[in-house]
Amino acid sequence: MAAEPTLDDLRRYGVARTLFKPTTLARAIDRLGFVQADPIRAPARAQDLILRHRVAGYRAGDLERRYPRLAVDEDCLVNYGFVPRRVLALMHPRIAAKPWDAATRKRAAALLDFIRARGPTHPREVEAQFAHGRRINAWGGSSSATTHLLDGMHYRGLLRVARRDSGVRVYEAVEHVAVDAGPEARHARATALLDLVVAKYAPLPASSFVYLARLLGYGAPHLQAETRSAVAAARERLASVKIDGVTWYWPADENPRSRRWKVDERVRLLAPFDPVVWDRRRFERLWGWTYRFEAYTPAPKRTLGYYALPLLWRDAVVGWANASVANGRLSVSSHFVGTAPRDPTFRRELKDERDRLASFLGL
């Protein structure tokens, strides 16, 4: 009988499987299945920081520049980000949990006709035509009602992001292919989405597995019942092990103890939303300390910094770094949980990672 994986095996496996050999931008996004987006630049957007480790020769902003030519869409899965078209097809036509009232449907129809006639359309053109006024957004502030309606139409699959102009979404009309609405087909789509997030974030503690399944209600609210059923079936289908009272799950066709999972002799500064560190429950169990994303935490209460980048050495997250750019120069301050590794290779690699980050930023 084969030996069961240890926590050390899961740690090495979790790092090695997602930090695959750098490839093309299209292939990297397809392999990841979903790249979470975040607008904060400290020193670059999260999607760029994630892709720089997985795309050969990647530079900050490459995704936005090349997006119109890729078979990729801005959309949501468990969070907002970028998904390959094959994943988009599993979620659309999307049925929102909260239906529109008659007045909103009428405004959306008029706006859709306008965008169909014009082609790719900037929100300011829509605002100039319709001037829908302002509303209170989810954060309590005031936002354009037109922008809110465009967001809602994008979410419901009436529009797609054609490109961005200076960071602003430019929309075009889109029609999604009709799909089989039968119970077996719906269950198959929910299962495929669940398998996608397990493959992206594995190995997963049981609590994180359930949490991710719930988050799929954002990307596929109309498949929530099927997702719950898929979770029950997946518990029997996925590979698993119990360590210190915690059950871990991963794809059944992968072996965490396999020699194929090799980690690099390399230092990496990771985005807060990188698949290696995204799951905070997993993070604490694998590395024994608490990492927090504190960009939205009041400054006096921050312990790691505004945009702390987890510092990965081999398969250990040994600390974090804060990076900033001023007057064309990159500044990186490193901090460690305990003492810094004394290995000369680590010190050399830390310097090389700073140089790689500067090159990625075009400095």
The H-or-E segment that residue 80 falls in is strand 80-84
Q: Tell me how crowded residue 102 is: count the other CB atoms within 10 A of its CB.
A: 7
Residue 351 lies in a domain: yes
Give me the CATH number covering residue 113. 1.10.10
pLDDT for 138 beyond 60 = no
Residue 143 lies in a domain: yes
**Structure-token match 């597995």, residue found:** 209
Last residue of a domain, one of 173, 202, 227: 173
Nearest to 256, CA basis, from 79, 72, 18: 18
pLDDT in tens, 19-74: 999 999 999 999 999 999 999 999 999 999 999 999 999 999 999 999 999 999 99
State the pLDDT confidence band at 146, using cuts at 50, 70 and 90.
Answer: confident
Residue 326 lies in a domain: yes
Beta bridge partners of 240: 249
Q: Tell me how crowded residue 244 is: count the other CB atoms within 10 A of its CB.
A: 6
State the pLDDT confidence band at 130, using cuts at 50, 70 and 90.
Answer: confident
Residue 96 lies in a domain: no
280 lies in which domain range?
A: 267-360
pLDDT in tens, 350-362: 999 999 999 999 9
Q: Tell me how crowded residue 221 is: count the other CB atoms within 10 A of its CB.
A: 16
Residue 139 lies in a domain: yes
Nearest to 282, CA basis, from 196, 184, 179, 202: 202
Q: How far apart are CA 321 and CA 340, in angstroms?
A: 12
Q: What global pTM score does this model have? A: 0.93
Residue 187 lies in a domain: no
Nearest to 304, CA basis, from 317, 287, 291: 291
Q: How far apart are CA 30 and CA 22, in angstroms?
A: 13
For the chain, the domain total comes to 2
Last residue of a domain, one of 173, 194, 211: 173
The H-or-E segment that residue 158 falls in is none
Last residue of a domain, one of 121, 146, 173: 173
Q: Which amino acid is at 185?
A: A
Rounded to the nearest 10 degrees, how much is the dihedral formed by the CA atoms of 58, 61, 63, 66?
-100
* Residue 65 three-state SS: helix
pLDDT of 147: 85
Q: How far apart are CA 23 and CA 59, in angstroms?
A: 13
Residue 186 lies in a domain: no
Longest alpha-carbon distance in the chain = 70
Residue 240 lies in a domain: no
